[in-house]
Structure 1
Amino acid sequence: MAIKKNIKLDKKDYLRALLCDTQPGDCPIIFSNDGLYINLTEHDRVCNDSLSFNPVSSFLKKIVNPNLDTSISVEKQAQAKKKQSSPFGYCIVKDAFSQRHLSLIHPRSQINYSEFYKNYSSVITLNTLKSNFSIRYPRKVANSFFLYENNASEKYKGEDIETTKDELMRKYSSSYFTYGGFNRIYKLFQSKMFINFEKRFSVMWMLDVSHCFDSIYTHSVSWALKNKSYIKKHVTHSNQFGQELDTLMQRSNNNETNGIPIGSEFSRVFAELIFQRIDCNIESCLLSEHGWANNKDYAILRYVDDFIVF
């Protein structure tokens, strides 16, 4: 019999994002970030286990996380972290006639993504609560999730219990953030809200943004958070949230400004920040130019880049 457990998460454990947000959800079953997470969180203990050369530690310092390399200056550590990287592209089956192209980000860039969450998670959630259209948006950093486990008497049949594996399982949740709205679009179609809209409105359109992530201009995230003219005047202020996010996304994708890597939850959060501004502009325009009020004269629902218009 399955037991439902409420698993508490450490909100300060920003590297937890490596397990849920920085890699595509559709990865081969033989691949995961478990080892990366364990080696980073247990780096000091692993390094102190032996005075001999440790290839894992050396790889982490030189390639993955230069902040661990105490043999170089802080300035060189920062430069190494900001070096551009190339995502690994691969395809999965989309339907009977097409494939979907996904990108696996370099581990160094994935760590940078995680550190960005650490520094700006509250700013992210502040800017994803503006839209009245979005039905999937980060609401707050997750502090718990439910885990269904078999009865303990059935689970532990042997004498040896792999505590590391069990502990790692408790680090997992579906995402770094708790989401408002619907975590799967099929749940929308089963909801009372959708059924009520179908009863109220006689016409419904379903549309999506073609090649959405491939077409996103990275600078537009700054324009979405502040107006375009303001950003152009203050473009040198690298400490701005939008500017840092823009640069971070470029560095993880060969310094490209046209298009963002496809597949990770981090990319969906990036896109959500832009779409939130688009939603607000659409609602404002319909009200000011046509006098149409949301949820009265029309209703628009957006799930990432999919729109439903009543």
Structure 2
Amino acid sequence: MRRKTGHNIGYKKERVVLSDILPYEVPPFFSNRHFYNFLVKNKVTINEDKRTIQFKKDNSGVLKMLIQTLFGISKSTSFVSDTSFDYFRFSEKMFPKIFLTIPFKFKITHKNKDYRELTVIHPINQLYLVGFYDKYKNTILYNTKLSRFSLRKPNKVSSLKYYKDNTNKKKKSKNQDIEIIETTDKEYTSLKTFFSYQKYSNIYEFYESYEYQRAEKRFDNLLKFDVSRCFDSIYTHTLSWALTNKKIVKDNIGTNNATFGGKFDRAMQQMNYNETNGIVIGPEFSRIFAELILQRIDKNVEKELYKKGYKYKDDYDVYRYVDDFFVFYNDDKISSEILSLYKIKLQEYNLFFNDSKTDVISKPIITGITIAKEEIRKLIEHSMIFQFYDSDVKKQISLKHYTAKDIITNYKAILAKTETNYKDLQNYFLAIIFNKLKGLIKKIQDEQESLLHFYVQKRDLEAKLNDAKENLDEILEEIKKQEKELKSYSNQLFKNINEIIELTFFIYSVLPRVTYSIKVCHILFRIIDFIKNQERTKQSYMVNVQSAEEDELKYIAFDFDKKHQIFKRIYDGISLVFKKSISSEYAEIETLYLLPIINELGENYRFQEELINKHFRIYQKDSNGNKAINTSLNYFTIISLLNYINEDSNQIYKEIRKDIQNIIIEKFNNFEKNNAEDIFLLIDVLTCPYVGSSDAEIQDFRRKILDKIKFFDINTSIVDKNSIIEKIENYASDWFYSWRENDLGKELNTKRGHSVY
């Protein structure tokens, strides 16, 4: 496999906001990309010693307003300026308070009747972590070398490379005039993590590793357990206990505040509104915080085992991936000892063992999940819908499973036989579908390129003298064979794509989760993008290839009916998902990923207002028919709906837009500058081009919300207000939500490989 080449971006401390701040599960088009650019461009930094926020000098005053708004700085805060920089300077009493913020918490479905609460922290706390990481990166690396059990620990600052955006690239052809436009998988301006990790960045890498297989051979039994509600249970002060000593810390509370452990503890409290019980869930920095504590526990357990005469790697093997433990052993006495020690050592740090998830597997150490994965792999390999064939080959290799229904029936049988659940295999199955789909598309694109190349050769030979006749006959024969094969492949691909769509929606619908939504979007987007790129290929060929004929392109793209049959099937599948489930307060993110797919289908495929309202519960009507808007609609849902509505030239979402405007205004009745959700909503609405149906309406709405939060000085005229609004809008077109640069292909590609679980 050819290695991907990256481009060095140099060390910028602000890169931490690209990699370690946001949860994986945030919706598409929300990122810190533009925030990162803002910090770098304006050299925004916090100086703890001087108690200042410093930024590049700006005589217009716009940057000052934006810094105040973004970081929740009071108008009464002292403002000073020198020749190069402007500063907000805080008193000794006020400086710590600027970091005391309410994070934006959103819920995702976790288990059947349970949810997980994830967090996006306030911009001021994000800025603080930039300096914190820069100052303490080596300290973090030093303190994550304690445990020999850990499978995922920071090893070094990761290489600073990114991959150029080639989402829709032109494939190199034998003939420079032929362009087969295809989709590739490269990331752009997205860093996976600040640190590179040893040994595995994903739990599935461990399962498939030589290390795991070797442990299976050496030991007879495997014990699996985890920490119960690990991140919810972590008491922030315990980090200092882990790094130093509990008694020393408690005896020297004043001096501890200035240490690495004390500062990390304080930062975690402040970003979570001074909460000490439980840390924010989702960001990478929280996993680092937990890792520092769990490494100390690992070390303490290994020490005690050594005292009792048990040697690591000889008598037992322990692996820990974040808060999941894998213990390999031969003697039951050892496993009991390890389990007992972990219970004791975890409790010393206010953490507890999860009894309900303890599992013991004896030789052969193979789980039902492993068996099921192998059965699914075989099922897909023998399915006709994931490969091209001719009738003779079909007989020889015994291809079967002609439809999605065949595969679904066999999939259910595999689950029953291996005593596994849908949740155990969803990610794996969807990943296989995506990779097989890529293979189908790559194969037909290669065949199309060959055919078009033959046509170019044919024209070249026709232009030559009679002595080229023999070669021309050969080319004509090749064209005939290639057309026959491509016709067969094209018909098969049409059927296969329809079956793949049906299979994908079945797998997803039985257990909708955010991670599965992302994988489903990968599959659906790849199909839509392939169809669109085929049409671009035709257009490019007709423009660039001299004397090209329309008839040469009959097997290059689906005709109108086939294209829209596929689009309709995707639309119907997503519609069914929306109709099947009314969005609860913690199940919105799953379907927010599907909205941009509907946009990709084009203007002919738009949801009715009624369906959107019913699913997202934008409003309800009482018995008298009076409308009551849902003010609990969160920031992610609001911005995603505005993006879906878009310009709405046909005014089919006029009422929904009006309802969303009213919801935003109602939410800002209780605006708090230290509330992360309020800040994100405010800054993104100020640049959103879809909050009104005309420029005048957009301007008026922005003025209303700024008046609502008392943004303007008293006696500011409407003319001056409008001027300020225009300056803010012109300063940056996008902040946290990408209104104008929202390429779904790019967004999905940045997600690939970023999931930790």
The TM-score normalised by the length of structure 2 is 0.36
Amino acid at match of 1:15: E
Q: Deviations over 1:36-89 (max 9, x none)?
A: 11222122699767725454344246449x999746435469706753111111
The CA RMSD over aligned residues, in Å, is 3.0
Counterpart in 2 of 1:160? none
1:230 counterpart = 2:239: no
Counterpart in 1 of 2:646? none
Counterpart in 1 of 2:326? 308
Amino acid at match of 1:83: F
Output aligned runs, 1:253-268, within 5 Å: 253-268=272-287
* Alignment counterpart, residue 272 of structure 1, candidates 291, 315, 337: 291
Instruction: Give the match's secondary structure for 1:154.
Output: strand
Q: Deviations over 1:143-185 (max 9, x none)?
A: 3346376499629xxxxxxxxxxxx934x22100111110001
* Alignment counterpart, residue 178 of structure 1, candidates 196, 204, 208: 196
- In the alignment, is the contact (CA less than 8 A) between 1:214 and 1:258 conserved in 2? yes
Deviation at 1:9, TM superposition (A): 4.0
Amino acid at match of 1:180: Q
Counterpart in 2 of 1:51? 60
Instruction: Give the match's secondary structure for 1:236.
Output: helix
Counterpart in 1 of 2:8? 8
Taking only the aligned residue pairs, the percentage that are identical comes to 37
* Alignment counterpart, residue 149 of structure 2, candidates 114, 125, 133: 133
C-alpha distance in 1, partners of 2:95/2:221?
55
C-alpha distance in 2, partners of 1:145/1:82?
34
C-alpha distance in 2, partners of 1:221/1:134?
17
Counterpart in 1 of 2:205? 187
Output aligned runs, 1:28-67, within 5 Å: 28-43=27-42, 51=60, 53-54=62-63, 55-60=65-70, 62-63=72-73
Runs of 5+ unmatched residues, structure 1: 156-167
Counterpart in 2 of 1:162? none
Output aligned runs, 1:65-80, within 5 Å: 70=86, 72-73=88-89, 75=91, 79=95
Amino acid at match of 2:263: E
Output aligned runs, 1:195-214, within 5 Å: 195-214=213-232
Higher relative contact order (CA 8 A, sep 6+): 1
Output aligned runs, 1:111-190, within 5 Å: 111-145=127-161, 147=163, 150=166, 154=170, 169-170=188-189, 172-190=190-208
Q: Deviations over 1:180-225 (max 9, x none)?
A: 1100010001111100101111110111111000000000000000
297-306 or 77-86, which deviates more: 77-86
C-alpha distance in 1, partners of 2:289/2:262?
12
Counterpart in 1 of 2:484? none
Amino acid at match of 2:314: K
Amino acid at match of 2:24: G
Larger radius of gyration: 2
C-alpha distance in 2, partners of 1:253/1:108?
12
Counterpart in 2 of 1:18? 17
C-alpha distance in 2, partners of 1:112/1:134?
28
Q: Which has the higher strand share?
A: 1
Amino acid at match of 1:211: R
Amino acid at match of 2:60: L
Q: Deviations over 1:250-307 (max 9, x none)?
A: 001110110000000000000000011000001001111x211111100100000010
Instruction: Give the match's secondary structure for 2:5.
Output: strand
- In the alignment, is the contact (CA less than 8 A) between 1:2 and 1:149 conserved in 2? no
C-alpha distance in 2, partners of 1:240/1:57?
29
Q: Against the structure 1 CA distance between its residues 150 and 35, is the aligned structure 2 distance closer, same or farther, given a 3 Å change threshold?
A: closer
Q: Which has the higher helix share?
A: 2
C-alpha distance in 1, partners of 2:94/2:61?
27
Instruction: Give the match's secondary structure for 2:320.
Output: strand
Q: Against the structure 1 CA distance between its residues 256 and 151, is the aligned structure 2 distance closer, same or farther, given a 3 Å change threshold?
A: closer
Instruction: Give the match's secondary structure for 1:254.
Output: coil
* Alignment counterpart, residue 282 of structure 1, candidates 295, 301, 306: 301
46-55 or 22-31, which deviates more: 46-55
C-alpha distance in 2, partners of 1:202/1:7?
47
- In the alignment, is the contact (CA less than 8 A) between 2:78 and 2:89 conserved in 1? no
- In the alignment, is the contact (CA less than 8 A) between 2:136 and 2:260 conserved in 1? yes
Q: Against the structure 1 CA distance between its residues 63 and 18, is the aligned structure 2 distance closer, same or farther, given a 3 Å change threshold?
A: farther
C-alpha distance in 2, partners of 1:34/1:175?
14
C-alpha distance in 2, partners of 1:241/1:254?
20
Counterpart in 2 of 1:164? none
* Alignment counterpart, residue 217 of structure 1, candidates 228, 235, 239: 235
Counterpart in 2 of 1:27? 26
Deviation at 1:8, TM superposition (A): 2.1
Q: Against the structure 1 CA distance between its residues 68 and 93, is the aligned structure 2 distance closer, same or farther, given a 3 Å change threshold?
A: farther
- In the alignment, is the contact (CA less than 8 A) between 1:23 and 1:265 conserved in 2? yes
Aligned residues: 294
C-alpha distance in 2, partners of 1:247/1:28?
29
The TM-score normalised by the length of structure 1 is 0.85
C-alpha distance in 2, partners of 1:206/1:14?
38
